Amino acid sequence: MSKCKGYAALEARAPLGPYSFERREPREHDIVIDIKYCGVCHSDIHQTRDEWSAYQEESIFPMVPGHEIAGIVEAVGSKVTKYKVGDKVGVGCFVDSCRTCSECRQGLEQYCTVGTIWTYNGRDKEGKPTYGGYSNKIVVDENYALRMPENLPFDACAPLLCAGITLYSPLKHWNAGPGKKVAIIGLGGLGHMGVKLAHALGAEVTVLSQSLKKKADGKRLGADHFYATSDPETFTKLAGYFDLILNTVSAEIDWNQYLNLLKTDGTMVVVGLPEKDVPLAAFSLTARRRSVAGSQIGGIRETQEMLDFCAKHGVACDIEVVPIQKINEAYERVLKSDVRYRFVIDMASLGKE
């Protein structure tokens, strides 16, 4: 076991503070990563506040969050072939899976039927809690690490590992591209990556935000259109307009109102994970043979494809780098939709309190 330091919530809803813990000694196929940056996902807030208890077996405290991890390989196990010391690597939302079920064999480890092993707030194959990237080091099997773009700023690539792949996967699955009208609801961490990626894929992109405050940013990120959902006219003007809507909102909103914006055979994909259930009217779907679907991050293969796509198209995240001591403040700002557009923790700040 090796000693690690990080930041944890000691119990549900507690503010995060310094925390020491242990990680396993590297096994034959493990790499040890010196974490340089970790993105702050709204899921970190939901989980440290135990807002998903209705949908999860347990929440494990103390909880060290963080699943947008960018770091440098510091050591490798004896049988590692994919990475060497000094490589720039990433770790996303999961660190292992059963590897044998049909989903795992298809590269859909995030839907492993035996159980995806989450990067934090999960249990490894020995039943021990996993700890995430708000920490100085992580030990992970080489098959669950990613190769990071060489040509883009390292800190701005960390959030690709969750925000990036969570939007890339449904955009690809539902064929976003030239001639397709795509809407992104919510211009936060996920949403801003949705705009950049849908634009890079050649789709017509519309942002549906609560107000027009972020309009200039939306256009700069690649949006063709930008509407405020606080304006009731938005919903009459855009009725029946979209092929695909990606809903990234972290709170409960009226899905029926947004389904009405889909054309015949259109799909709304839910990626935002609010605390409470959202009611759905049958008529919202039957009226135009519409679908509502969900999507969860992406598998290792697709995450690597997304990172390579971003390297090729020069796509990284818009970030605000913060020291880890500011993490509780950053959470409050995310909750107020006051982030442009992802906080990234500079891990060099760890231990400097």
Q: Which residues bind ligand NAP (CB under 6 A)?
A: 41-43, 46, 162, 166, 186-191, 209-210, 214, 248-251, 253, 271-273, 295-297, 334, 337, 339
Tell which one of 14, 72, 75, 101 touches Zn ion (CB under 5 A).
101
Regarding 322 and contact with Zn ion (CB under 5 A), the answer is no
Minimum Å gap between C-beta 260 and Zn ion is 29
Query: Is the bond leading into 62 cis (omega within 30 degrees of zero)?
Result: yes
| AA letter at 65 | P
Of 101 and 287, which has the nearer Cβ to Zn ion?
101
Regarding 112 and contact with Zn ion (CB under 5 A), the answer is yes
- The span of 30-38, 155-163, 249-257, 262-270 binding Zn ion (CB under 5 A) equals 155-163
Regarding 273 and contact with Zn ion (CB under 5 A), the answer is no
Of 206 and 248, which has the nearer Cβ to ligand NAP?
248
Give the other-Cβ count within 10 Å of 34's Cβ: 15
Tell which one of 72, 75, 98, 321 touches Zn ion (CB under 5 A).
98
User: What burial letters (b/e) apply to 112-127, b meaning 16+ CB within 10 Å?
Assistant: beeebbbbbbbeeeee
Minimum Å gap between C-beta 297 and ligand NAP is 4
Choose the one of Zn ion, ligand NAP, none that binds residue 250, judging by a C-beta under 5 to 8 angstroms depending on kind.
Answer: ligand NAP
Helix, strand, coil percentages (3-state) for the chain, rounded to 5, are 30, 25, 45
Q: Give phi and psi for 20, each to the nearest 5.
A: -110, 145
Minimum Å gap between C-beta 76 and Zn ion is 25
| Count of residues of this chain found to bind Zn ion when the rule CB under 5 A is applied | 9
C-beta of residue 242 within 8 angstroms of C-beta of residue 183:
yes
Tell which one of 47, 48, 97, 303 touches Zn ion (CB under 5 A).
97
Of 76 and 327, which has the nearer Cβ to Zn ion?
327
Q: Where are the beta strands (DSSP E) in the chain?
A: 2-8, 17-23, 30-39, 69-76, 88-91, 94-96, 117-118, 137-141, 146-147, 181-185, 204-209, 225-228, 242-247, 262-270, 291-294, 319-323, 342-346
